[in-house]
A and B are shown apart, each in its own frame.
Chain A
Amino acid sequence: MKRNRKGLALAIGAVLLALSCAPKAPEVYASPEYPTWARTTRTVLDYPIPGHMNRLRIPRMNALGFTATPLADGDRQRWDFPEDTVIVKEVYASAKPAAGERPVQLTIMAKDPKDPRAQGGWLWITKDLPDGKETVFTGNFCITCHANANEKHPYADKNLKEEFRDYVFFVPGRDNGRPASASGASPGATASEYGGVP
């Protein structure tokens, strides 16, 4: 009897130990609600860019991200997205996916400066769909390219004034891109889908 109790205690101890040592469940950055998040641009992103070619991309951001406003930093405008801002960019298989077609990949930026893996304050994540794992990039691949968002670049309003845009190419309100195309199954964002000030 006594021995049994000892065994039980041991078993419980072992389970507790195993639990405390088990890796923490990975955080899910692409929240299941992300499809309801507003888009960061009205532009149809179906033109070629390095890495994705001309496959359709739709970037969305959680509501928190839309609270960011540029502040003056000397004579430079500076954007700083609040912590816990998440931007999810859907990447489709082609430039013109069929109606109801699901994206094949998500690339994600999650603002979490305290995370040791963060670069430029962001976690850089990719997720292959439908069931791929989220992979946090620790190399400087993503940020090297995204550093270009803080200087002149060929997209959105081209950032001609070289604002500090917190490594984000499409910041709301700086979108003077092409209007939504009327035809095709992948239109640009409608006024209600777009989260920025029109």
Chain B
Amino acid sequence: MAGQSPRRTRLAIKVNLILVVTLAVGVGLILAAFAANLIASRDQITRRFLKQEANDLYTSIENFMIPGEAPLAVKFFAQVQAVNPGSRILLFRQNGNFAFSDNTTISRVNTNLGTAKFRPREGIVTTVSMPSKPGFAQAAATPPAERFFREDEGGRSYFRAYRPLINLPKCTVCHGSDHTVRGVIDIRSDITDEARGQTIILAGAGAGFFLVVSLLAFVIGAFLRRVVIGPVNTIGLVCSGVAAGRFEGRVATRSDDEIGDLARTVNTMVEGLEERFKLTKYVSAGTLGALRAGEEPKRVTRTLLFTDVRGFTSYTEGHPPERVVEVLNALLDSQARIIHENGGDIDKFVGDEIVSYFQDEDASLRACRSAVAIARFCAGHGVESDGLSVGMGIASGSVILGMVGSARRADYTVIGDAVNVASRLCSLAKAGQVVVDSGAKSEAGPGLSFKGPFGAKLKGKEKPREVWILLTSTDDDAQGNFKGGKP
């Protein structure tokens, strides 16, 4: 299972990535647009108010100036500032000097009017340094341009307006016609709280965004994991189990969506596969190989091993059927296991008989070793087998391998003389005896002990065939003699 986890992580990471990116981009864009809009409209509103304020002040100043009440204007500015400490209003001459800071204007007006209408003031009203902001020059230029900008100073934020004061025709009477711009009204509005509020809103929105995105990603991710990724992983696990020969896995699903359908299909498929896999037990390896390789019959060399339970018919009569089947199955199963262990192939079970064959190198040696092992097994497990034992025949030679049977039910099986010989030798063998034809004997090599040769009369053969008894234990006599004929 541990081997599967990287795949699960990969898919989950991908899905989460897609989710987070989609949400971040989607929600983020909307939120960013919204925030930008909010800030822009707030700025716009502030600007509009500031402009309005500038216009109102402009009108006020104009009206103070006409009757020559400049000092009133100064008072007015101070009062506005007192009422609204966040605001500051200053009036500058075109040259950047603070208006009312000295008597130059008064003396000029008096000159223009030709009378000493205005009394020079004593002392300087205020000193304010000339605005250094670049916008001022443009506000005081001809033609002048209004300036609105934001500035941060001493930890506070301001909106600032430079509103040019134009030398109107009606002003020219006192102030002369030699200049277009009389000065600049400088209005500054403290927006620190608003700016702070904006920052808080932005930070809040950002945090909210982060929270919402993570939450949504988590919830949707969990949902997807539950509904899609989980089942898909389980299906994957079940399938890899099947590939490794484990059929017990099933995908548990109750959903009726496409994934549910897929899960059910996989379950059905695995059940079918399991059934077929179980069936392969009853099909020889040769049949399976032939199915894989195509079904063309071929002539090959094989060593045949036949085994047959001795005295089985009478045994069946004296025992209950359950016991008969149980003992027989145990016997057949042990024999089949031994044959498989020695690289043999079960061709078929015929009642209490096993037809098997061996191929390739050492085929006869392995057939003989299987026979010895089976004989020893029977000798050692007499009690469980109710004393039943088998006789065995081994022959080697050329056989034909092919699908034999009808179109509906066919077996890949061996036919040929060697098959008949082995079958015959098996029927000649007594319980615990292994009768081997001389071909198989010589192929088996010198490592085994044989007794013989004996002459065996085979059906359809004139001359008796030379056969041997394979010694299965060191106790020679236990092997007895061959009933088929004398050596």
Say yes or no: A145 contacts B166, CB within 8 Å. Answer: yes
Interface assignment of A84: CB less than 8 Å from any CB of chain B? no
Say yes or no: A53 contacts B177, CB within 8 Å. Answer: yes
Contacting B at CB under 8 A, from A13-71, are 47-51, 53
Interface assignment of A7: CB less than 8 Å from any CB of chain B? no
Chain B contacts of A154 at CB under 8 A? 169-170, 172-173
Neighbour of A141 across the interface among B143, B172, B173, CB < 8 A? B143
Say yes or no: B143 contacts A151, CB within 8 Å. Answer: no
10 examples of A-B residue contacts, CB within 8 angstroms: A47-B177, A49-B177, A50-B168, A50-B179, A51-B180, A139-B145, A145-B166, A145-B169, A151-B170, A154-B170
Known: A141-B144, A153-B170. 20 other contacts (CB 8 A): A48-B177, A49-B177, A50-B166, A50-B180, A53-B178, A139-B143, A139-B145, A139-B146, A140-B146, A141-B143, A141-B145, A141-B164, A144-B166, A145-B166, A148-B168, A148-B169, A148-B170, A151-B170, A154-B172, A169-B169
Say yes or no: A50 contacts B143, CB within 8 Å. Answer: no
How far does the Cβ of A116 sit from chain B's closest Cβ, in whole Å? 17
Chain A contacts of B166 at CB under 8 A? 50, 141, 144-145
Interface assignment of B41: CB less than 8 Å from any CB of chain A? no
How far does the Cβ of B417 sit from chain A's closest Cβ, in whole Å? 80
Interface assignment of B167: CB less than 8 Å from any CB of chain A? yes
Say yes or no: B169 contacts A49, CB within 8 Å. Answer: yes
Chain A contacts of B178 at CB under 8 A? 48, 50, 53
How far does the Cβ of A166 sit from chain B's closest Cβ, in whole Å? 16
How far does the Cβ of B50 sit from chain A's closest Cβ, in whole Å? 15
Give CA–CA (A157, B166) in the complex, Å: 22
Grouping DSSP codes into helix (H, G, I), strand (E, B) and loop, the B interface class, with mixed when no group exceeds half, is loop
How far does the Cβ of B175 sit from chain A's closest Cβ, in whole Å? 9
A51, A137, A149, A153 interface centre (most CB from chain B within 10 Å) = A51
Give CA–CA (A145, B167) in the complex, Å: 8
Interface assignment of B142: CB less than 8 Å from any CB of chain A? yes
Neighbour of A50 across the interface among B145, B146, B164, B172, CB < 8 A? B172
Chain B contacts of A102 at CB under 8 A? none
Chain A contacts of B170 at CB under 8 A? 148, 151-154
Chain B contact residues, CB within 8 Å of chain A: 142-146, 164, 166-170, 172-173, 177-180
Say yes or no: B169 contacts A50, CB within 8 Å. Answer: yes
Chain A contacts of B164 at CB under 8 A? 141
How far does the Cβ of B235 sit from chain A's closest Cβ, in whole Å? 52
Say yes or no: A50 contacts B144, CB within 8 Å. Answer: no
How far does the Cβ of A94 sit from chain B's closest Cβ, in whole Å? 16
Chain A contacts of B143 at CB under 8 A? 137, 139, 141
Give CA–CA (A149, B170) in the complex, Å: 9
Give CA–CA (A139, B146) in the complex, Å: 8
Give CA–CA (A139, B166) in the complex, Å: 13
Chain A contacts of B168 at CB under 8 A? 50, 144-145, 148
Give CA–CA (A47, B168) in the complex, Å: 15
Give CA–CA (A139, B173) in the complex, Å: 25
Give CA–CA (A170, B169) in the complex, Å: 13
How far does the Cβ of B96 sit from chain A's closest Cβ, in whole Å? 19
How far does the Cβ of B101 sit from chain A's closest Cβ, in whole Å? 23
Contacting B at CB under 8 A, from A134-171, are 137, 139-141, 144-145, 148-149, 151-155, 169
Give CA–CA (A137, B145) in the complex, Å: 11
Give CA–CA (A169, B170) in the complex, Å: 12
Give CA–CA (A48, B173) in the complex, Å: 12
Give CA–CA (A168, B265) in the complex, Å: 90
B145, B169, B179 interface centre (most CB from chain A within 10 Å) = B169
Chain A contacts of B167 at CB under 8 A? 50
Chain A contacts of B172 at CB under 8 A? 49-50, 154
Give CA–CA (A73, B180) in the complex, Å: 32
Chain B contacts of A53 at CB under 8 A? 177-178
Chain A contacts of B144 at CB under 8 A? 139, 141
Neighbour of B142 across the interface among A51, A152, A169, CB < 8 A? A51
Give CA–CA (A144, B182) in the complex, Å: 13
By Cβ-Cβ distance, the 10 closest A-B pairs, closest first, are A48-B177, A50-B167, A153-B169, A51-B180, A50-B180, A141-B143, A148-B169, A148-B168, A144-B166, A50-B177
Chain A residue at minimal CB-CB distance from B55: A140
Give CA–CA (A51, B179) in the complex, Å: 6
Chain A contacts of B145 at CB under 8 A? 139, 141
Chain B residue at minimal CB-CB distance from A141: B143
Give CA–CA (A47, B178) in the complex, Å: 11
How far does the Cβ of B135 sit from chain A's closest Cβ, in whole Å? 14
Chain B contacts of A153 at CB under 8 A? 169-170
A152, A154, A169 interface centre (most CB from chain B within 10 Å) = A154
Chain B residue at minimal CB-CB distance from A142: B143
Chain A contacts of B169 at CB under 8 A? 49-50, 145, 148-149, 153-155, 169
How far does the Cβ of A182 sit from chain B's closest Cβ, in whole Å? 25
Chain A residue at minimal CB-CB distance from B165: A144
Chain A contacts of B177 at CB under 8 A? 47-50, 53
